[in-house]
Amino acid sequence: MSIAQNPLVGPMRKSMGNFTMYSYNGMNIVRSKPFKVKDAKTEKQLNMRTRMTLMAEMYHAFCSIIGLGFPENSYGKSPQNMFVSANFSSAFIMKDQVPVISYPLMLVSKGSLPIVKVTEAAVDDAGITVQYDAGLSLQDITPLDELIACARLITGELLITRQIRGYEALGTITIKYPDLQAEEVACCYVFTRSSDGKKASDSGYVEVNS
């Protein structure tokens, strides 16, 4: 970019060749554009683009839950930025030399609280019922913490349930969806969030049984 202040030329605008000219605050601004745009397509670059595309798709699919799952160290960062940072290197497996999302490896929340210990999960008449160890003896865990469970169906629908942890040593949380079949569930996650909303745990992938 160059700045021209030649009174003989006067105001300049529009483009010529690979130059674009315009006036700003009384100055003539000249920008140049490359004649040829290099679009290198090495295997590494294509894999990186695929990962970014898949990350964008996953964010849009889980954005409502991701907004809850990344409250820590978020100053100046969006939930999308934090989600991509947490998953870009670790949430993929390779199939036929192409990266694909692995739901068990993906995090929909990340934080410093202890991960929720799931003891059993199954599809029943009500929906998906997840049993968990409340872990009340663990540091930073309180009965007023919030348990959040979500499941994505193969149709793309995202189901979310939230409840207080409570005082019971063993608890259950149910994602209500009557007549649901196990094969209709693409993935399921559970995580905890502090009562003030400032901390969260890493999400745990839940294996759903029929």
Per-residue pLDDT reduced to its tens digit, 4-49: 555 545 565 666 666 676 665 566 777 776 666 566 678 888 899 9
Per-residue pLDDT reduced to its tens digit, 80-136: 999 999 999 999 999 998 999 999 999 999 999 999 999 999 999 999 999 999 999
Could you give the CA distance from residue 8 to residue 45 in angstroms, rounded to a whole number?
48
Q: Kindly tell me if the per-residue pLDDT of 187 is higher than 60.
A: yes
The predicted structure's pLDDT at residue 39: 63
CB 91 within 8 A of CB 51: no
Domains of the chain plus CATH, in order, are 11-37 (no CATH), 43-205 (2.60.40.10)
pTM to 2 decimals? 0.79
The predicted structure's pLDDT at residue 35: 60
Contacting residues for 183 by C-beta, under 8 A, at least 6 apart: 154, 210
Alpha helices in 21-100 (DSSP H): 43-69, 79-87
Could you give the CA distance from residue 205 to residue 36 in angstroms, rounded to a whole number?
46
Q: Kindly tell me if the per-residue pLDDT of 76 is higher than 90.
A: no
Query: Greater confidence, 74 or 139?
Result: 139
Percent of the chain scored above 70 by pLDDT? 82
The predicted structure's pLDDT at residue 182: 94
